């Protein structure tokens, strides 16, 4: 994935997240597709796209919707780094490991995000925060699955790979064990 392709993808996700996703909210919770993209990019690519775009778009997100600037950036960077760490032990091609990474990334993001906000003294109770987690996690996993199915074809280009269809150049950054 080249940066010139990644930037429009993240920008589109940012706009869709803010303008449209509230219309598909379940129990007043909509998915965080920006975080889903950060997780999938961190899971699929060896370049630190996930962490970098997590920080940049996290700051932009906080400017638009955050109480304090930087909280989303920290939490998304933490999620991306955690996913980059655990993906060494997982198969990138398969959906189930991607969902496991999605679950770990979402959980860590939420813990860091709410942890930092609780330190600043927001009025939200732990019960209120926990109530929205099941829907948020389920929704996020759905979008992680969707993004993984779409984006994995752009990285898996080795002859030994399951998804190899022929006619591609081998990707430089992709490590095949």
Partner 1 sequence: MRWIRKHTGASTIIAVFAALLILVLVSYQTFGESNILGRAAGRALGVIQTPFAQAARFLDERFSVYTLSNELVRENERLRVRVEALERELSEARLSGADLTDLEKLSEALNYADIGDDYELVTADVIGLDRSSGFNIFTINVGSEDGVSDDSVVIDGDGLIGRVMTASENTAKVISIIDETNKVGFQVFRNLEWLGMLQGDGAGGLTGYMLDETAAVREGDRLVTSAIGGFYPPGLMIGKVTSVEWNHDSPLKTVHVEPAAYFKSIRKVTVLL
Closer to partner 1 by Cβ: residue 12 or 96 = 12
User: Minimum Å distance from CB 170 to partner 1?
Assistant: 24
Closer to partner 1 by Cβ: residue 124 or 162 = 124
- Burial pattern 138-177, b for ≥16 Cβ within 10 A else e, equals ebbbebbbebbeebbeebbbeeebeeeeeeeeebeeeeee
Binding site for partner 1 (CB under 8 A): 11, 14-23, 25, 28-32, 35, 51, 55, 59-74, 77, 81, 113-114, 116, 120-125, 127-129, 132, 136
User: Minimum Å distance from CB 88 to partner 1?
Assistant: 14
User: Minimum Å distance from CB 41 to partner 1?
Assistant: 16
Closer to partner 1 by Cβ: residue 11 or 94 = 11
Instruction: Identify the bridge partners of residue 26 per DSSP, sorted by sequence position.
Output: 29
Closer to partner 1 by Cβ: residue 20 or 96 = 20
Kindly tell me the sign of the dihedral angle through the C-alpha atoms of 72, 64, 145, 6: negative
DSSP 8-state class, residue 26: B
- Cβ(62)–Cβ(69) below 8 Å: yes
């Amino acid at each position: 994935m080249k940066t010139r392709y990644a930037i429009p993808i993240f920008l589109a996700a940012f706009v869709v997240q803010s303008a449209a996703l509230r219309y598909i909210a379940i129990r007043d919770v909509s998915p965080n597709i920006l975080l889903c993209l950060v997780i999938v990019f961190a899971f699929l690519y060896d370049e630190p796209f996930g962490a970098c775009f997590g920080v940049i778009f996290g700051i932009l997100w906080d400017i638009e919707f955050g109480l304090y600037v930087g909280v989303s950036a920290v939490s998304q960077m933490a999620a991306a780094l955690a996913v980059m760490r655990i993906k060494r032990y997982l198969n990138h091609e398969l959906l189930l490991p991607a969902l496991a990474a999605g679950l770990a990334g979402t959980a860590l993001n939420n813990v860091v995000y709410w942890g930092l906000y609780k330190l600043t003294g927001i009025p939200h109770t732990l019960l209120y925060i926990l109530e929205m987690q099941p829907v948020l996690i389920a929704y996020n996993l759905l979008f992680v699955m969707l993004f993984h199915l779409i984006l994995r074809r752009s990285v898996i280009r080795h002859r030994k790979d399951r998804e190899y269809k022929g006619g591609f150049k081998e990707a430089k950054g992709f490590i095949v064990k």
